[in-house]
Amino acid sequence: MPGEPQLRDPVDRGLALVQLFCTPEAFGRLRSVRPDEVPQPARQLLDHRSHMTVTMERHHGTQPRLRIVGRAFDEAPTGDGAAWYAREILLESPTGRVLQHGIVRIDLSSVDDRTAREIRDGRRPLGRVLIDAGVLREVHDVALLEIVPGPHLAGLLGASPGPSAAVYGRVADILLNGRPAVELLEIVAPTE
């Protein structure tokens, strides 16, 4: 992101987002993996350069509901004019089944005021808000992760903590209108 050193290691990128909301120990252990190490359907859901919102809508045949677990908003001047907002979320099916966990950090100064308000309101997933607002988006620097859930993540996903409950996710960045503006950690919930 502008004004910050880039953390290109996928694990470091993921942990930087995790630490906005909890300790790495509570969240779980992250490990960078190759696409061929990720089982289906997680690989199909994660190994692409599209918005996860669209991918999840297509895969589940419905628009997921957004549940915000935590928020952080930094109104302090950063010297680069950014207005950083972060949130930890769950995407859920209409029946309340968790489909995805995510942490996003976005520079709200990269979108118009109406879009920024809608993002902060938290009624719809970020991807759907950006798409409907017509914001030019480019997903890049996608890297896949295996996550052994700690108590925090396991509790959110309804899974057991520990190695037998490993889940898969990705880190990615998004350019908005050509500007680096979004950092993501997205984790697919375990399937039945």
Quick check: is 2 in a domain? Answer: no
Quick check: is 15 in a domain? Answer: yes
Q: Which of 32-46, 78-92, 158-172 has the highest mean pLDDT?
A: 32-46
Which pLDDT value is given to residue 146? 96
What is the number of domains present in the chain? 1
Quick check: is 17 in a domain? Answer: yes
Which pLDDT value is given to residue 2? 42
Question: Could you report the per-residue pLDDT of 151-188, keeping only the tens digit for each?
Answer: 999 999 988 777 788 999 999 999 998 889 999 999 99
**Which residue from 13, 22, 11, 6 is spatially nearest to 88, judged by alpha carbons?**
22
Quick check: is 144 in a domain? Answer: yes
Confidence of residue 55 (pLDDT cuts 50, 70, 90): confident
Quick check: is 3 in a domain? Answer: no
Q: Between the CA of residue 186 and those of 10, 42, 81, 101, 114, what are the distances in Å?
A: 12, 11, 26, 6, 25
Quick check: is 62 in a domain? Answer: yes
Quick check: is 38 in a domain? Answer: yes
Is pLDDT at 80 greater than 80 in this prediction?
Answer: no
Q: Distance between CA 161 and CA 158 in Å, rounded? A: 9
What is the residue-averaged pLDDT of the chain? Answer: 88
Which pLDDT value is given to residue 77? 47
**What is the pTM for the complete model shown?**
0.88
Which pLDDT value is given to residue 51? 74
- In the predicted model, what is the mean pLDDT of residues 56-69? 87
CATH number (domain holding residue 142): 3.40.1410.10
Which pLDDT value is given to residue 24? 96
Domain containing 183 equals 10-188
Q: Tell me how far the alpha carbon of residue 15 is from its chain's centroid.
A: 12
- In the predicted model, what is the mean pLDDT of residues 112-118? 93
Quick check: is 5 in a domain? Answer: no
Question: Could you report the per-residue pLDDT of 8-33, keeping only the tens digit for each?
Answer: 899 999 999 999 999 999 999 999 99
- DSSP per-residue codes, 46-107: HSSSS-HHHHHHHHHTSPPEEEEEEEEEE-S--SS---EEEEEEEEE-TT--EEEEEEEEEE
